Structures are given as structure tokens and as C-alpha cells.
Chains A and B, each alone.
Chain A
Amino acid sequence: MSLQTMINTMAGGMLRTMGIFFLTLIGSLPLGLVVMFLEKRKNKVVSGITKVFISIIRGTPLMLQLLVWYFGPYYLFHISIRGYRFPAILIGFIVNYACYFAEIYRGGVESMPIGQYEAAEVLGYTKAQTFIRIILPQVVKRILPSITNEVITLVKDTSLAFTLAYSEVFSLAKQISASETSFMPFLIAGVFYFVFNYAVAFVMARIEKSMQYYR
């Protein structure tokens, strides 16, 4: 296999890696908000179950979770779903990252001074209006550095999709390296990850900078 073919094949894998990356963010950033709301519910049962769920997700390896999501339906309910590989990967990543984001959101929300809620309340804002217009925009600014950390971790975590034999860039690197008995694929994968991460970090820094207009 020529170097050119190798790079081309792996570029295809990189696109699938980026697919996991973006779809995970699109799913988990909002889902994390839902998880946080469930966790903060006054109802002890709802918040309790959510807390336990979060600690399980955060306390077990993502690789294991991917296997459970993929093989769980078959071993537990004896159902096999065709074309379930990619959805299982996405569910695993989204649920996992949503739980991490939920904890970051919660920390941000709890760090807001009570005076912000009270000022809005006296002005007649509803709870929802207060959250969306007053609290959330400030929370986003406060937690952005932590979100950046998670997002950069996600770039590297996408390689865990190899567990379910999904042909993203890392799986391909392993395969091609074995069949071609070459170290080159790993170098190429490393360069791909590094460049992608660099771009992600650059974008996140820009977003953080765009929020520096106040305090």
C-alpha cells in the first residue's frame, strides 16, 4: 500500500472520528442540561436515581459502557438490531459525556450568586425566563474552561470506538499497521488527532475570548 493510499484511507477514518466527535457534542451538551435538571429536582426519588446513574457512568470505563450499550440488548432481551453498531457508539458517548457535562453545569449554576435570581424574581421573571435569560448565559461563561477540557478529552476518547470495531481513524491505523507491517499508520493517526485537537482548542479559545466582554 502506498503512503498516499494509506493517508487517503485514514482520512476517511478521520471523517468518521469527526462524526463521532460532533454528534456526541450535539447530543450531550443539551442532554447534560436535562440530566442536571433531573439531578436538581426537589423530588428525592428522581434526583437520587439521577445521582446514582451519574456516579455509575462516571465511575466505569467508557469502553465498558460501549460494550454494554452494544451487546446489552442482545444478552438482556435477546433482540438483535441490524445496523446498531454506530447508534450504540453514539448512545455510549452521548450518555457518558452528558453526565460529565451535567456535573459541570451543576457546579456553574450553584456558583451563581443568589442576588441574580432575586433581582430577576422581583422584576417578575418566571423561573424559566430567569434561567434562560439571566443564569444560563453567565453559567456558560463560567464553565467554558471546564467544557474545553472535556471537549479535548473527547477528541482522544473517540478512539474508543475501536472497541466496537468501528472504522474510525484509530481502528484503521491498527488494521493497516497489522496488514502492512508498518508503523506509519500510527504516525499518520497521531498527526490527524493532533491537528484536529489543535483546531478544536483554537475554536474553544476563540469562544472563550468572545465572552470576555464583561467581568
Chain B
Amino acid sequence: MILEMKNIKKNFGSLEVLHDISFSVDNGEVISIIGPSGSGKSTLLRSATFLERIDSGSISYMDEEAVSTGEDGKAHYISKAELREVKNFFGLVFQQFNLFPHKTVFQNITEAPIIIQKRDKETVKKEAIELLRKMGLEDKKDSYPCQLSGGQQQRVAIARALAMKPDILFFDEPTSALDPELTIEVLKIIKSLAEEKMTMVIVTHEMNFARAVSNRVIFMDGGYIIEEGDPESVFGNPKMERTKQFLRSYEE
């Protein structure tokens, strides 16, 4: 098991946004999370990546427990330094890319592996060139993010995450900020990663893509997982009324 989240509860003030959600990811799985906006998809990813602090439940990566809940019912996090170690297991691609605008494409990709993971410079640089080639951006190595299209920026963001050699990659609506033509080029990259058996969890509104690329689809609404299963059954034969309604709204 790469990721195991159990009985996750998360409140914003008095608003409970995740109600007792359990969720796990196996090696090589590609999971799509779909659902209306405000249903807690981002909060789930942000909890998994420690950007949000959960109130109770447990989170383990590669069977290492990072968050646990004891008798008192409150979530306990391992120390900050230990959390930074756990962060090596995952990467996150944001809707808004969040590239570092003052660094070149190449620096964006190589800085963290060199400075944070303290890996060998030459190896990291070689791998970065290889990643850029894979993303179709070898000629953009020395450009700054502001000189790139949204689609190119998102591909750099994917390369930046991959350069850390994560075991699992999370995507939070990676194409929602992009025009349709640019969406396609990013989805292509994600698809090629799926073919290489990269473990991924993708929050998306691209239903055709989710259906084509994932092994498992999770439908969330109101902070609950309403339905989950293989894409053919969730998209082709949804059991829950709520899921049917949601999918129907995409058919127009």
C-alpha cells in the first residue's frame, strides 16, 4: 500500500468538510476523484499532502504512519523533520501550477532534488534534461515560466514533481486553468505516465479522460465518498442516484 488514509475528519471552524473518509492507494493504481465543487476533493488531497491538518484519522505512506489518532480522538502528527522525510514519497501538481517565477524551467526542476534531497548534482541535471524531453520542452530549459503557455507551465510543474522521484503523484484539477487545446497536451502527458505505471490520484472534471485513464474512480459529494469502483461501473452503470445526477449534468 502506497497511501492509506483512515477515518479522516477535517473541519474548517464549525464546518466539517471531510466526514470519516477512508481511502487507500496501491502501487501502480491510477485513481480519479470526481464530484461537484465544494465536495471536499481538494481538501482530501491537501490533507494527504499535509497542506491541511486533519482533525482525526490516520495517514500512512509505505506503511510508515505519519498521522495517527490516539485515545483522545485527536490527530497526532510526527515531527516536522520527520514529515519532510515522508514528503519524499509524494508529489503534488496544483491547478495554478505554482512554478517559481524567478527561476528558469531548469532551476525549477533541479533545485529541490539538489538542495532538499541532496542528490548528486550531475545525475539530477541529467534526469531533468530527460524529463524535459519527455514533456516535449527540451527547448524551454532556460526560459522563465512567464515566457511559457499555461500548458507548458503545467508540464514543467509535472516535471518538477517527477524530479523528486515520488512514489505517488497527486493532481488537483491540473487542467482547470487551461484552454481546451492546452488541456489536451497536459492530459496526454498524464496518460503517458499512467502507461508507465506511475501511481496517481487525479482530481478532475474531464470525465472522458477519467474514464479512459483510471483503474478506479471515486465520486465525492458533501464530504463523503458516495461511490467508488472501476470506471466502467461508475460511469457506465452508477448505482447511487447522486452519482447519476452528477454524471447527467456533464452530458449536456
Given contacts A113-B98, A124-B116, A126-B84, 10 further A-B contacts (CB under 8 A): A115-B94, A116-B98, A116-B100, A119-B98, A119-B100, A122-B87, A125-B112, A133-B111, A133-B115, A215-B144
What 1/0 mask marks residues of chain A from 121 to 143 whose CB sits below 8 Å from any chain B CB? 11111100100011001100100
Which A48-106 residues have a C-beta within 8 angstroms of B?
A: none
Interface hits, B157-183 → A, CB 8 Å: 160, 164
Query: Is B69 positioned at the interface, with any CB of A under 8 Å from its CB?
Result: no
Tell which of B51, B115, B144, B145 touches A122, judged by Cβ atoms closer than 8 Å: B51
Asked if B101 CB lies within 8 Å of chain A CBs, one says: yes
Which A residues touch B101, using CB under 8 A?
138, 214-215
Whether A118 lies near B98 (C-beta < 8 A) is: yes
0/1 string, B33-50, CB within 8 A of A gives 1: 000000000000000011
Chain B residues whose CB sits within 8 angstroms of the CB of A214 once the complex forms: 101-102, 144-146
Q: When the two chains form their complex, are residues A129 and B115 in contact, meaning their CB atoms are under 8 A apart?
A: yes
Within residues 59 to 92 of chain B, which ones have a CB less than 8 A from any CB in chain A? 80, 84, 87-88, 90-92
- CB-CB under 8 A from A118, the residues of chain B are 51, 94, 98
Contacts of A215 in B (CB 8 A): 101, 144-146
Given contacts A123-B87, A123-B164, A213-B144, contact A134 B100 (CB under 8 A): yes
Cα of A215 to Cα of B153 in the assembled complex, Å: 14
Count chain B residues whose beta carbon lies closer than 8 angstroms to a beta carbon of A. 27
Interface of B toward A, CB cutoff 8 Å: 49-51, 80, 84, 87-88, 90-92, 94, 96, 98-102, 111-112, 115-117, 144-146, 160, 164
Q: Identify the A interface with B (CB < 8 A).
A: 113, 115-116, 118-119, 121-126, 129, 133-134, 137-138, 141, 213-215
Q: With A214-B102, A215-B101 as known contacts, state yes or no: A119 contacts B115, CB within 8 Å.
A: no
- In the assembled complex, 24 residue pairs joining A and B whose CB atoms fall closer than 8 Å, in A order, are A115-B98, A116-B98, A116-B100, A118-B98, A119-B94, A119-B100, A122-B49, A122-B87, A122-B90, A123-B116, A123-B160, A124-B88, A124-B112, A125-B112, A125-B116, A133-B111, A137-B102, A138-B101, A213-B144, A214-B101, A214-B102, A214-B144, A215-B144, A215-B145
Q: B64 to chain A: closest CB distance in Å?
A: 15
Docked-complex contact A141 and B102, CB < 8 angstroms: yes
A125 vs B146: C-alpha distance when bound (angstroms) = 23
The answer on a CB contact under 8 Å between B112 and A123 is yes
Q: Determine how close the nearest CB of chain A comes to the CB of B20; give it in whole angstroms.
A: 25
By a CB distance below 8 angstroms, the chain A residues around B90 are 122
Residues in A neighbouring B160, C-beta threshold 8 A? 123
User: Which residues of chain A come closer than 8 Å to B112, judged between CB atoms?
Assistant: 123-125
A129 contacts B116, CB within 8 Å?
yes
Q: Judging by beta carbons under 8 Å apart, are A124 and B117 in contact?
A: yes
Q: Which chain B residues border A124 with CB–CB below 8 Å?
A: 84, 87-88, 112, 116-117, 164
Distance in angstroms between the alpha carbons of A141 and B145 in the assembled complex: 16
Q: A129: which B residues are within 8 A, CB to CB?
A: 115-116
Residue of B at shortest CB range from A125? B116
Contact among B50, B87, B96, B102 with A115 in the assembled complex (CB-CB below 8 Å):
B96
* Interchain CA distance A133-B151 in the complex, whole Å: 25
